[in-house]
Structure 1
Amino acid sequence: VQSAGSTLFMGVLSAVQVLLHRYTGQDDITVGSPLAGRDHADLAGQLGFYVNTVALRGRVSGDMDFLSVLGEARRVTLEAQEHQGYPFDSLVEELDLERDMSRSALFDVMVVLQNNDGVDLTDAASGTGLGISAVDTAEGGASKFDLIFIGTETAVGLDLEIEYNSDLYEHSSIER
């Protein structure tokens, strides 16, 4: 059984893959995504940064309907979750790809779903704890990828932000 966040992520991933297919004409679409990296029970209650990046490679063709693309995204995402513990750097090293240090080794597009805003870590017994809020770190900075699609779950749906490499894209292209 998939959580609502996973289902929403697969929908965002599918929409991004369809968009990229439409604009590039490519059928083989690989995007990156961070996974929480907390698949071991001993890590569930710990604070810390356990994120690992996974490459999600999907097939999209012009004759596929959206439900077929969504099914492919589900398959690819579930496979990635099974292997999320494998370090991304080790994968890149093992593949022994010809590297261009000005870009990511496996993908140029990242898809992120933020579904942890407003998480309450208050200790119910003592009434003390931590609060979590989003911090915008991209303001005025350079994008690490050609495109980053950042979906944020809200009480009423999904907000989508697109971060882009301004050396490659005009603002009007991104808005379109």
Structure 2
Amino acid sequence: MAKVFSYNVVRFIVLVMLQVFLFKNIGYYNLATPFPYLLFLLLLPVGISNFLLYVLAFITGITVDAFYDTLGVNAAACVALAWGRIIFVRITLQTDQYENYMTPIVGTVSFRWYLLYVFILSLFHHTALFLLETFTFHQFHYTLTRILLSCIFTTIIILLFSLLFYRKKQR
């Protein structure tokens, strides 16, 4: 259990620093913005308590908000992601088959499930984030385009990270 905790602390620090110092400056004409810090929330253990998941999601979002100068938009989107993660894991995984400390990575779950997991939850996060950011339906087609392109961009980067750090012994 201490090993899982230390992995998650290092993962949090590395992903937030990558988001703040590298991925904040990467984008495609303000249409596609990657948010790979979501990987921290996605790779938390399956059996984590809901309260702790919400607290970690809020801390993650408020940390990114501090660097982005947004007033709680990322925190609200991360808490919404945590809520969506709870529902998605409850619906799709049979938790009695997996240990409580199991992290949903490519080696422990199927690639198809992992791809769907990352895409749907990043779509959920980006929808909450961009709708809260714009807070209007004036240019809804532009906001919808930003949501979809950013979701695809984030999913590709998260899959690249996952495959880059994939351990062969888990196959």
TM-score by length of 1: 0.30
Structure with higher strand content: 1
Higher Cα Rg: structure 1 or 2?
1
Q: If the length of structure 2 is used for normalisation, what is the TM-score?
A: 0.30
Highest RCO, 1 vs 2 (Cα 8 Å, sep ≥ 6): 2
Return the structure number with greater helix share.
2
